[in-house]
């Protein structure tokens, strides 16, 4: 634990700036002296003084051998990994690295369909063939969860030649599958398990939370330190362990995907966030769990609003949950999550993490306290008095709609590089999409390139757009048109 008090990268930076070297290298603002004075004033001298690049004393993220290497080694120790790679390209960069490490053109990767767009981007870059597993759909909450051991078993026995299995654990909403069992099963086929751990950096540091990817024995995990672990936005880690993955290959691939101008502000924030998590993480998360559980109880007392907890565990796709995520179901108020998000912004000055048709999601972190929790509860109470109509049987009037998963007819890469044309979205049923369409956040695709468009999906897109939810992805931001694979008509 004493070793975890050290922050070699951050200390190395401080050491360097204490010598006040005359800088004749980029960044050209040189401590802010060469930049817009307003912004310099706002950002402040400390941040500007460590906005440096990979000069010799500061090591190089592309070939770590000094302070970055030492910091990554301490992070590996903290996360229970054999190697940790720092990412300044967010978890998206770490995810692309995982996939491109294990998959080449034409090789199979088993993935749940409700994946983040970075996973589909990596599948296009690598030319891999996705084998989709249907995530479990929760008809009560109207969200998708993780994958079950049974569905993994089916996918592995049909595709024992897959080069990897990717699991989202925990999901955006904090739900975990039985990851240990999934890992054991997948390893019995000698297939590596890659985990999208964007929403689970903190779970490693408290045994009241679901098991982390490294604890479950997964081979690789892309983990957003910036989302819930206290580092700055865009900074993440890629952890690996075991013999199935070569650390050298990971290093060369993450390097291919990373800027050569790596931000030392981000890197230092990773080094210090790791110290904070390793030394204080357990205590901090205990406090957060307490705060979140008290918020959950109070929310469940508000008419028309509910917040599920451990009672929804089912030993299956909902094997465990992270109580610090508050899934707040508002469907009984007969308004959409998006309307609630806007109402809370305009009337209560509250910003939520995300909204969908039926829920809002609020995250509780070590940045919260009883005041922020009470403020949220107060806002939700006012929301309920505005919208809740006593006596009305709301739950019966709500029909949860989740999108159908379309059939993949071309590999995403082939579709992406095919000849295409533009057609009206409302006339596109039956055509093959050449674009991604997703709702962001959370960035889960409704269509990926290569999938056959069905009327159901078109209706779902319109429903989300009518509710004001952010449907994104296509070239035409109004979504009047969609790019599809060109059909070749016979020449008469």
Ligand X SMILES: Cc1ncc(COP(=O)(O)O)c(C=O)c1O
Q: Which listed residue (236, 262, 263, 411) binds ligand X by CB under 6 A?
A: 236
Q: Which listed residue (32, 442, 449, 474) binds ligand X by CB under 6 A?
A: 442
∠ CA 269-271-273, nearest 5°, is 65
Give the binding range for ligand X (CB under 6 A) out of 11-19, 68-76, 91-99, 398-406. 91-99
Q: Which listed residue (116, 202, 275, 483) binds ligand X by CB under 6 A?
A: 116
Q: Give the count of residues interacting with ligand X (CB under 6 A).
A: 14
- Distance between CA 14 and CA 32 in Å, rounded? 17
Q: With respect to ligand X, which residue has the nearer C-beta, 166 or 376?
A: 166
Tell me how far, at minimum, the Cβ of 316 lies from ligand X, in Å.
Answer: 20
Tell me how far, at minimum, the Cβ of 442 lies from ligand X, in Å.
Answer: 5
Q: Which of 418, 426, 417, 434 is nearest to 481 (CA)?
A: 426
The SS3 of residue 156 is: helix
Tell me how far, at minimum, the Cβ of 441 lies from ligand X, in Å.
Answer: 6
Q: Which of 467, 492, 457, 463 is nearest to 482 (CA)?
A: 457
Tell me how far, at minimum, the Cβ of 224 lies from ligand X, in Å.
Answer: 5
Q: With respect to ligand X, which residue has the nearer C-beta, 133 or 380?
A: 133
Q: With respect to ligand X, which residue has the nearer C-beta, 326 or 333?
A: 326
- Tokens linked to 460: 């779902």
Residue 96: asked if its preceding bond is cis (omega within 30°), the reply is no
| Rounded (10°) angle between helices 67-79 and 264-300 | 20
Q: Which listed residue (7, 72, 91, 269) binds ligand X by CB under 6 A?
A: 91
Pattern 121-160, ligand X, x by CB under 6 A: ----------------------------------------
- Distance between CA 183 and CA 189 in Å, rounded? 10
E strand residue ranges, 297-367: 320-321, 325-329, 354-355, 359-363
CA distances from 243 to 64, 128, 187, 252, 473 (A): 21, 22, 11, 17, 38
- Distance between CA 264 and CA 222 in Å, rounded? 20
Give the binding range for ligand X (CB under 6 A) out of 86-94, 296-304, 349-357, 417-425. 86-94
| Rounded (10°) angle between helices 117-126 and 90-102 | 40
Q: With respect to ligand X, which residue has the nearer C-beta, 12 or 443?
A: 443
Neighbouring C-beta atoms of residue 394, cutoff 10 Å: 15
Give the binding range for ligand X (CB under 6 A) out of 63-71, 85-93, 204-212, 358-366. 85-93
Q: Does 90 bind ligand X (CB under 6 A)?
A: yes
Q: Does 223 bind ligand X (CB under 6 A)?
A: no
Residues 279-308 that bind ligand X (CB under 6 A): none
Pattern 197-216, ligand X, x by CB under 6 A: -x------------------
Q: Does 118 bind ligand X (CB under 6 A)?
A: yes
CA distances from 334 to 194, 390, 415 (A): 39, 12, 40
- Tokens linked to 427: 């006339």
Q: Does 443 bind ligand X (CB under 6 A)?
A: yes
Residue 441: asked if its preceding bond is cis (omega within 30°), the reply is yes
Give the binding range for ligand X (CB under 6 A) out of 84-92, 289-297, 302-310, 323-331. 84-92
The SS3 of residue 78 is: helix
Q: Does 112 bind ligand X (CB under 6 A)?
A: no
Q: With respect to ligand X, which residue has the nearer C-beta, 234 or 384?
A: 234
Residues 164-183 that bind ligand X (CB under 6 A): 168, 172
Q: Does 485 bind ligand X (CB under 6 A)?
A: no
Residues making contact with ligand X (CB under 6 A)? 90-92, 95, 116, 118, 168, 172, 196, 198, 224, 236, 442-443
């Amino acid at each position: 634990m004493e070793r975890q008090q050290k922050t070699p990268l951050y200390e190395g930076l401080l050491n360097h700036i204490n010598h006040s070297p005359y800088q004749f290298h980029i960044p050209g603002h040189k401590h802010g002296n060469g930049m817009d004075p307003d912004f310099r004033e706002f950002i402040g001298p400390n941040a500007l003084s460590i906005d440096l690049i990979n000069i010799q004393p500061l090591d190089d993220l592309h070939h770590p051998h000094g302070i970055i290497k030492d910091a990554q080694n301490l992070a590996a120790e903290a996360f229970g990994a054999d190697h940790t790679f720092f990412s300044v390209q967010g978890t998206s960069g770490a995810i692309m690295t995982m996939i491109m490490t294990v998959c080449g053109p034409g090789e199979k990767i088993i993935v749940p369909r409700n994946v983040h767009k970075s996973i589909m981007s990596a599948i296009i870059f690598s030319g891999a063939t996705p084998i989709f597993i249907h995530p479990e759909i929760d008809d009560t909450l109207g969200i998708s969860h993780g994958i079950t051991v049974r569905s993994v078993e089916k996918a592995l026995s049909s595709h024992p030649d897959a080069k990897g299995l990717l699991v989202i654990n925990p999901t955006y909403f904090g739900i975990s599958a039985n990851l240990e069992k999934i890992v054991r099963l997948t390893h019995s086929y000698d297939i590596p398990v890659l985990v999208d751990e964007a929403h689970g950096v903190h779970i490693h540091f408290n045994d009241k939370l679901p098991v982390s990817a490294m604890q479950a024995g997964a081979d690789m995990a892309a983990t957003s330190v910036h989302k819930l672990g206290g580092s700055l936005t865009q900074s993440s880690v890629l952890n690996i362990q075991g013999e199935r993955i070569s650390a050298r290959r990971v290093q060369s691939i993450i390097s291919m995907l990373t800027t050569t101008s790596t931000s030392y502000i981000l890197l230092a924030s990773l080094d210090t966030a790791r110290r904070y998590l390793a030394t204080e993480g357990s205590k901090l998360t205990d406090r957060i769990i307490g705060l979140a559980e008290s918020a959950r109880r109070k929310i469940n007392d508000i008419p028309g609003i509910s917040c599920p907890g451990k009672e929804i565990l089912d030993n299956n796709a909902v094997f465990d949950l992270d109580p610090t995520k508050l899934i707040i179901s508002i469907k009984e108020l007969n308004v959409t999550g998006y309307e609630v998000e806007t109402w809370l912004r305009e009337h209560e000055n509250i910003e939520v993490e995300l909204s969908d048709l039926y829920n809002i999601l609020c995250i509780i972190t070590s940045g919260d306290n009883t005041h922020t929790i009470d403020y949220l509860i107060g806002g939700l109470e006012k929301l309920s008095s505005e919208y809740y109509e006593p006596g009305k049987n709301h739950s019966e009037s709500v029909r949860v709609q989740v999108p159908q998963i379309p059939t993949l007819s071309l590999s995403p890469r082939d579709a992406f590089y095919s000849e295409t044309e533009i057609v009206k979205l409302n006339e596109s049923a039956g055509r093959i999409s050449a674009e991604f369409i997703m709702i962001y956040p959370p960035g889960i695709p409704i269509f990926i390139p290569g999938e056959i468009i069905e009327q159901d999906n078109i209706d779902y897109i319109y429903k989300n757009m009518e509710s004001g939810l952010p449907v994104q992805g296509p070239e035409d931001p109004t979504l009047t048109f969609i790019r599809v694979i060109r059909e070749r008509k016979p020449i008469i």
